Structure 1
Amino acid sequence: MKRKIGIIGGAGFIGQNLTNFFVDCGYDVLVVSRKIDKTKLQHPNVATAEVNVEDTNALFESLKECETIIWLVSSLVPSVSNESLVDDFDSNISPLIRFLEIAKTSIHFKHFVYLSSGGTIYGDSLDNKPLDEDSTKKPISSYGLSKIVTENYIKFLTSTSHFQSFILRPSNVYGQFQNLIKPQGIIGYAFKSVINKTSIDLYNDGRVTRDFIHVNDLANAVHSCIQSDFKETHTAVYNVGSQKGYTIKEILEKINDTTQMQILTIPKSSRSFDCTYNVLKIEKIKRDLNWEPKIEIEEGLNMVWDWIKNEENEK
């Protein structure tokens, strides 16, 4: 009997990639989201359920036969989260708490995987060195703060549960299926600029340094978690990144090289929610799960560009 994975919030960029990855690995996948474009998820091993995560009973009922639950739900992004503090709790934190309280009663669940945010929970690295899982948490947006709060609720609620939970803190995720109409992250914005031949705002002279991880590598990290028999604690926490830092200016130059086009930039002052240096240390996940990223940034950008060109040709 095939193992079944439920992906909550699975209709978006990361969810589509995880769905394809796990189907290719031989799993049955249930995609749960408020709204689903079923034309993007046409596969005999993929089922869908349009459920509002705030409807806890309906959510649990749809997932009750799944062994693994992957929670991707987030209704906010860092740039606007400070404007919606109450909505943030009601839409993101509260539904997860209610779900886990019920999930503890189910004998089917074996793994719970939550995608946090390595790019926002730590804040700046004051000494410009990679941040490990025990580094001080100084989020500079409520988005990062809500991720920390959620992590703590997960640790508390699963401390007496029968299933293993994993909290993954990915760096800046990029790859195929990114939303290029309303992109999130510099790589998405840059490729949108290339496609539309428009300019892009460059904050702090492009000196902001980030860690980037291709979504295929993130999918492999999730897979490593649910295949693992590692049970040091009920909740294991891992950074998922490349442990390599690139300035935004360097990323734009690499995209120029990839596309053979020149992105026009407009200088802007720093934003309140931007960290100057944020690179993740990944020694812990290497040691515990034998995972490490395989896709270098140049290869990953080429993969995105090939996907974009293919999408354009099919229009």
Structure 2
Amino acid sequence: MRVLVTGGAGFIGSHVAQRMLELGHRVSIVDNLSSGKRDNLPGHAHFLHCDIRSDECERFIAEERPEAVFHLAAQMDVRKSVSDPALDADINVRGFVRVLKAAAEAGCKAVVFSSTGGAIYGEQERFPAGEDHPCRPVSPYGTSKFCGEQYLRYFGSSANMRWVALRYANVYGPRQDPHGEAGVVAIFARALLQGETPRIYGDGKQTRDFVFVRDVVAANQVALERPAEGVFNIGTGVETDVLAVFRVMARCAGFAGEPEFLPERPGEQRRSVIDPGRARQILGWSPTVSIREGLEQTLSYFRGILEKR
């Protein structure tokens, strides 16, 4: 099958592209490398360095004629979305619409969209949140992802493309960027392994649903292979607070100190955990990696990166 992965040089996208190649698909990748890295690109994939908002990207999609698209290219910085919501919408809404339109015109049969379960529900009233939970995002990032889902539904219906929106919990694991706006796990790993004091914004009691990247890749695979359509939460259904993550990682890294606590940041939720029951029932997907195992693997990855320098 001809498969296009947007954002395929990024943290999750590169893993998805690699899995598709392993399954024998012909893989094309579009990435502007604003956050993705050439080193993440899997071999044998056809790569175009361009922005999803560009005419060049539309021409590439027309030439490649993908049968399936995994859309992972995004502006994913919650703080940046608060400071510059127009940029966030331009990339996450307008950029996605251009990809959808080009894919539809090229005869694409399926689109798998990387959405967010961590930001789309906002401050939850039920824990864990199912897909029927009200969507009341508290950041422009969550809003743009919700808007993207509506365009996905529209193009799926109007162009007869099967569509799947995967609402990720907090994804972590190897290849996550520990610089700038990144997952707390990658940031902690970098600090702990370099002997720095990790920083926690707020009191550390804010909770998240942490899901390992290998499990997320498996979710993308079954979303392509199963005939299902719709929205699916991809998480563990388990709340873990940030301070607990720090404690586990500190023990694994041999760090005996305490974190530095800083004021909490705007646009961030107090509690976030999603119910993966629908994905289990319809897609046959369930997370397999425990938080402790995933954190150990992530630390091991970053340790290897530092040792190569």
* TM-score, with length taken from structure 2: 0.93
CA change 1:15–1:209 in 2 (3 A) is same
Correspondence 1:238 to 2:232: yes
The alpha carbon displacement at 1:55 in A equals 1.5
CA distance in 2, matches of 1:255, 1:100: 40
The alpha carbon displacement at 1:222 in A equals 0.4
CA contact (8 A) 1:201 1:265 kept: yes
CA distance in 1, matches of 2:254, 2:23: 35
CA contact (8 A) 1:198 1:264 kept: no
CA shift digits 1:132-166 (9 cap, x unpaired): 01101121111111111111121122212222111
Alignment partner, residue 152 of structure 1: 150
Correspondence 1:308 to 2:302: yes
Q: CA RMSD in A?
A: 1.8
CA shift digits 1:192-232 (9 cap, x unpaired): 211232223323321101100111100000000100122xx
CA distance in 2, matches of 1:105, 1:263: 56
Correspondence 1:70 to 2:64: no
Alignment partner, residue 260 of structure 1: 254
CA distance in 1, matches of 2:251, 2:75: 34
Alignment partner, residue 98 of structure 1: 98
CA distance in 1, matches of 2:272, 2:257: 24
**Between 169-178 and 268-277, the greater mean CA deviation after superposition:** 268-277
Alignment partner, residue 83 of structure 1: 83
2:291 is aligned, of 275, 284, 297, to 297
CA distance in 1, matches of 2:91, 2:97: 11
1:18 is aligned, of 16, 19, 23, to 16
Alignment partner, residue 46 of structure 1: 45
Alignment partner, residue 116 of structure 2: 117
**Between 30-39 and 238-247, the greater mean CA deviation after superposition:** 30-39
User: What SS does structure 2 have at the residue aligned with 1:70?
Assistant: strand
**Paired letter, 2:289:** I
User: What SS does structure 1 have at the residue aligned with 2:113?
Assistant: strand
**Between 273-282 and 155-164, the greater mean CA deviation after superposition:** 155-164
The alpha carbon displacement at 1:186 in A equals 1.2
CA distance in 2, matches of 1:62, 1:39: 22
Alignment partner, residue 218 of structure 2: 220
CA contact (8 A) 1:245 1:279 kept: yes
Alignment partner, residue 34 of structure 1: 32
CA distance in 2, matches of 1:40, 1:104: 28
CA change 1:261–1:183 in 2 (3 A) is farther
1:199 is aligned, of 197, 200, 215, to 197
CA distance in 2, matches of 1:292, 1:115: 17
Alignment partner, residue 265 of structure 2: 271
**Between 153-162 and 239-248, the greater mean CA deviation after superposition:** 153-162
Q: Percent of counterpart pairs with the same letter? A: 23
User: What SS does structure 1 have at the residue aligned with 2:299?
Assistant: helix
CA contact (8 A) 2:82 2:267 kept: no
Report which of the two has the higher share of helix: 2
1:248 is aligned, of 242, 248, 254, to 242
User: What SS does structure 2 have at the residue aligned with 1:158?
Assistant: helix
The alpha carbon displacement at 1:257 in A equals 2.1
CA distance in 1, matches of 2:202, 2:37: 38
Structure 2: which 5+ runs fail to align?
none
2:141 is aligned, of 137, 140, 143, to 143
Structure 1: which 5+ runs fail to align?
none
Map 1:173-188 onto structure 2 (within 5 A): 173-182=171-180, 184-188=182-186
CA distance in 2, matches of 1:293, 1:60: 35
CA shift digits 1:35-67 (9 cap, x unpaired): 375444352x312111221124x2233233322
CA contact (8 A) 2:40 2:175 kept: no
CA distance in 2, matches of 1:284, 1:246: 21
The alpha carbon displacement at 1:183 in A equals 5.1
User: What SS does structure 1 have at the residue aligned with 2:274?
Assistant: coil
CA distance in 1, matches of 2:227, 2:296: 35
CA shift digits 1:40-98 (9 cap, x unpaired): 4352x312111221124x22332333221111111241122111122222222112213
